[in-house]
Chain A
Amino acid sequence: MNQATVVIIGGGATGIGILRDLSMRGVHAVLLEKGGLANGTSSRFHGLLHSGGRYAVGDNEAAKECIEENTILRRVGKECVEETEGFFVATKHDDPEYARAWVSACERAGIAAQPVPVAEALRLEPNLSPNISTVYRVPDACVDGFRLVWHNAVSARRYGGTLLTYHEATGIEQANGRVCAVLARNCQTGESLRFECSYVINAAGSWSGQIAHLAGLDVQVSPDRGTLIAFNHRFTSRVVNRLHKSADGDIFVPHGSITILGTTSSPAPSPESNRPSSAEVLRLLELGEPLFPDIRQYRILRAFAGTRPLYSAGSGAGRSASRGFHIVDHAEEGLHGMISIFGGKLTTYRLMAEKLSDLVCAQLGVSTPCRTATEPMVRPPSAETLAKATKYFPMHSTTLAAHRLGEALETVVNTMDAEPEHPILCECEMVSLAEIDYVARDPDTHSLHDVRLRTRMGMGTCQGTFCSLRAIGALTERNVPLNLSPTEDVAQFLQERWKGVRPALWGTQMKEIMLGRAIYAASLNLDGAIHEQQ
């Protein structure tokens, strides 16, 4: 029998944020996620930590929330944020009237928007089109959604929170108008579990309609699909937004060595609808071209898609539906202890968690205040560990590894200290064997795919062509258990990469696919081995 005060359903930024917040206030909480951490929308977006500029004209309240949360996250979650700043750029074809309205809306929301002379903007971002007419600088930043979720999870665990990935909620039991338990299935073993609880928090994002349905509730959450493109290089050092009424394909976000262009918006048949189409990719290129005229020559690493949870309490859909968030206490509908959180955006995940936790704590009579706005999320590695790490990493990679791992860097560096060789397995993203070993041994890691999300291994230029094979070999050599056989694990990894390139099967990215086929099929016969090994 499992017991908790609160069961949270959904392991994206919102759910994990709530788990951490409640755990920090001493409330016993368990989180169930049916896939890996952040496997839904929190790892399938552009990674823009909004300054709020994008919402200033259309939804000034949301813009205010953004700039406040943006400021907080830079402080408490700096390991997940790259402070690049952002440009809002208008072309000669964009309405100058909108720019004027935007400037005053930013002022109202408290967003510092400073004009930048076009010549200066082109000096700073030489790949921008010379045909731009107006540029403003705003405090946009880049955020690694997966890392954010992971660090929240590590912190929540430290405060006693329990996190169960690959556990799907299958039922919500109620008695006398109150929830009393959540039924779940361990997706790895098939085992059925029951968690007695007083509260159920539905934080399943695009899936929250389905979760509400488990409790017999009917809510309107429409998944809205957004497709994005990741390019092979960092062609902009800053976030670049087009200064016009928010639309598709008008955000460019640099991440590490790559750049992401987003986003499309179209109603999705289901929350799982995350296969990008070639039509969407071509449309994004067309829309991106006015700001970056050479964009069609850039190599595409992959396209990917996620679904936004748009909460439509009756009216509005797509981009015009509210990006603000809504907390619904289903006590109003006669079911006590069941609370859903709908909508929202990653930038404001912390605020959403705070408001929801406030509500739960008020009902529980817990008076401990929220501390997530002030307490840093990550415990940094010691100065001594950092100094030691520079023996094995170049300076820049030391910082990257420290940001990914926090204080766990010490374990990784100690492993390196104890061994004669310290290979970097993923040369594109500079990920060491020691780090891959450490992450692979985590109980929440089950496959190479999980390792990829946490370490960024295989996310760079080679897209796993070389490092996936190395990693599986090294992990086998070191007796690190994974769920799948090596052949299946590498094949699954390649399948996942293929899904991202298939809708962009042309140009230079196609050469990379052919190289992968030359290695994995022609040389190593992985395709045959899948059927022949037992």
Chain B
Amino acid sequence: MNSNSDVLVVGSGPAGLFAALVAAQRGKTVRIVTQGAGSLAICGSNIDVLGYAQGQRIDEAPWAAIAQLAPEHPYSLVGEHSIRSALHCISALCAKAGSPLSHADEEKNTLVPSIVGTLKPSWLCPASAQGNSLLAARRVLVAGIEGFKDCHPALVARQLKRYPELKQASFQTVNLIMPPQPRKRTLSPLDVARFVDSPEGLAWLCRSLRPYASTADVLVLPPVCGIEHSGSVMATLGKEVHCPVVEMLSIPPAVGGLRLRAILCRELAALGVNIVENATIVRAETAGKQCLALISKGTGGERRYTAKHIIIATGGILGGGLNMSPTAAQESIFGIELPLPEVIEDRSQEAVFGDHYFTRMGVQVNADLCPVGADGAVLFNNVHFVGRALGGYDYATEKSGLGVAFATGWAAAHKV
């Protein structure tokens, strides 16, 4: 069975979905083939662009630091214009969906709190993650939900106090009690966020928070302010509670990432983009520097996909886009070999958060995001790599995951 489109996108993480969306907006016929749900199921909804460079926290806007990055960094390859355009595009999309993204201060990264009481520098934040209202507060209320295993207000308060930025603040903590729900597992932020999407849940949240509005300057919560309707939930909280609410960054299951995913998927559906799920690309048909087709294996057996342009957004090691054995590292669809130090110990450092080789390992590409070999020659003219399958950056320590995903997704969509 054969399916044809202008653009074939492999992978449905942030880079894949966004690349597909931008290509479709540009009038292309687009199909997405994906194995799983992608990394939006484990990440947040605030868009980190660049939080650290050379181990130093970037407090100002990220642009100056971006200009200093190594030439092989994906940001250097796509350029500041693509990054800004991509952010503009995703902002417009989120605004249209009723969940606008913004900066509190155009000149600065925003520090957003997490459920372990750490602060993370981020750039574009939804209304629910404007960390500045926390830093400006003298009286902070940290609220958990009774029954959460992963969020403990006492821990958050104790940890936040250790930041010089919050030394002067006073903290109070509370665990909100959710009305009993039929459930068979431990309560997670996802359960509460779904409840808050309902009118009854939203009323409960407003009712629970209102008493604290008079004694606190900011209310810090786990990410529970809805998924499908997070924009209107935040608007209602603003009207009803009269105190800024800041959601903490959390661990999977990811409420924030799923909000973004919902917005992207709704827009893709509106643009007529078809997503084929549960399908793994097992091989490529190539001729010279062209990829003619990709073959997938899924519930219906093998299928052949042809397209003029192919965007690979299969992720890194975690997503399955890259594989590593003791002796070799490879990109998983085309088998592109990645250079690797021979001695295994040379691929990493002794400190867990050290400057590891393996964290920056990925496909090398040219300015069109087409893969190149060790000699710099293009391997395939009509294949573009986006997101974590790319080498040259460590999104985890530099805090650039969604920024690179969207910037490279946008850039690739403009090469097709």
Contact = CB atoms under 8 A, between A and B. Distances in A.
B118 A526 contact: yes
A400 to B, nearest CB: 20
Contact of A495 (B52, B316, B352): B352
Interface in B311-354: 316-318, 324-326, 343-345, 347-348, 350-353
Interface in B362-385: none
B251 A469 contact: yes
B317 A514 contact: yes
Contact of A519 (B42, B154, B155, B343): B42
A477 B250 CA distance: 18
Contact of B116 (A423, A486, A528): A486
B119 interface: yes
Contacts of B324: 505-507, 510
Nearest to A474: B152
Contacts of B350: 499, 502
Contacts of B151: 473
A282 B326 contact: yes
Nearest to A278: B344
Contacts of A502: 345, 348, 350
Contacts of A523: 42-44, 114, 120, 249-251
Nearest to B42: A518
Interface in A505-521: 505-507, 510-511, 514-515, 517-519, 521
A495 B352 CA distance: 5
A264 to B, nearest CB: 16
Contacts of B126: none
A104 interface: no
A529 B118 contact: yes
A486 to B, nearest CB: 6
B414 interface: no
A476 interface: yes
Contact of B352 (A474, A498, A525, A532): A498
A524 B155 contact: no
A534 B163 CA distance: 6
B352 A423 contact: no
Nearest to A512: B318
A425 B149 contact: yes
B116 A524 contact: yes
Contacts of A479: 154
Contacts of A277: 345
A486 B158 contact: yes
A476 B250 contact: no
A487 B186 contact: no
B396 interface: yes
Contact of A423 (B154, B186, B252): B186
Given A522-B395, A524-B249, A423 B159 contact: no
Contact of A525 (B43, B114, B146, B316): B114
A532 B116 contact: no
Contacts of B119: 525, 529, 532
A524 B114 contact: yes
Contacts of A485: 159, 162
Interface in B137-174: 146-147, 149-155, 158-159, 162-164
A421 B146 contact: yes
A477 B348 contact: no
Contact of A469 (B150, B154, B401): B150
Contacts of B114: 523-525
A265 B200 CA distance: 65
B402 to A, nearest CB: 10
Interface in B8-65: 39, 42-44, 48, 51-52, 57
Interface string A17-60: 00000000000000000000000000000000000000000000
- Main secondary structure, interface of A, reads helix
A495 B401 CA distance: 23
B162 A521 contact: no
Nearest to B165: A532
B74 interface: no
Contacts of B51: 525, 528
B75 to A, nearest CB: 16
Contact of A514 (B43, B154, B316): B316
B358 interface: yes
A476 B154 contact: yes
A503 interface: yes
Interface in A467-494: 469-470, 472-474, 476-477, 479, 485-487, 490-491, 494
Contact of A518 (B117, B250, B318, B326): B318
Nearest to A470: B149
Contacts of A532: 57, 119, 163
B359 interface: yes
A176 to B, nearest CB: 49
Contacts of B115: 473, 524
A465 to B, nearest CB: 9
Query: Which of A277, A466, A505, A534 neighbours the largest number of chain B CB atoms within 10 Å of its CB?
Result: A505
Contacts of A527: 353, 396-397
A533 interface: yes
Contacts of A470: 149-150
B259 interface: no
Given A477-B154, A519-B42, A522-B396, A487 B159 contact: yes
B326 A528 contact: no
Query: Which of A421, A473, A523 neighbours the largest number of chain B CB atoms within 10 Å of its CB?
Result: A523
A415 B155 CA distance: 21
A477 B155 contact: yes
A494 B162 contact: no
B399 interface: yes
Given A502-B348, A518-B396, A524-B251, A487 B118 contact: yes
12 contacts: A278-B344, A421-B146, A423-B186, A466-B150, A476-B158, A485-B159, A510-B317, A514-B318, A522-B401, A527-B397, A528-B118, A533-B163
Interface of B: 39, 42-44, 48, 51-52, 57, 114-121, 146-147, 149-155, 158-159, 162-164, 186, 249-252, 316-318, 324-326, 343-345, 347-348, 350-353, 358-359, 395-397, 399, 401
- Nearest first, the 6 A-B pairs at minimum CB distance are A473-B152, A278-B344, A521-B396, A525-B120, A529-B118, A533-B162
Given A476-B152, A519-B42, A523-B250, 18 more contacts: A282-B326, A473-B151, A477-B155, A485-B159, A494-B352, A503-B345, A506-B325, A514-B317, A518-B43, A518-B396, A519-B251, A522-B43, A522-B396, A525-B119, A525-B121, A527-B396, A529-B118, A532-B163
Interface of A: 277-278, 282, 421, 423, 425, 466, 469-470, 472-474, 476-477, 479, 485-487, 490-491, 494-495, 497-499, 502-503, 505-507, 510-511, 514-515, 517-519, 521-530, 532-534
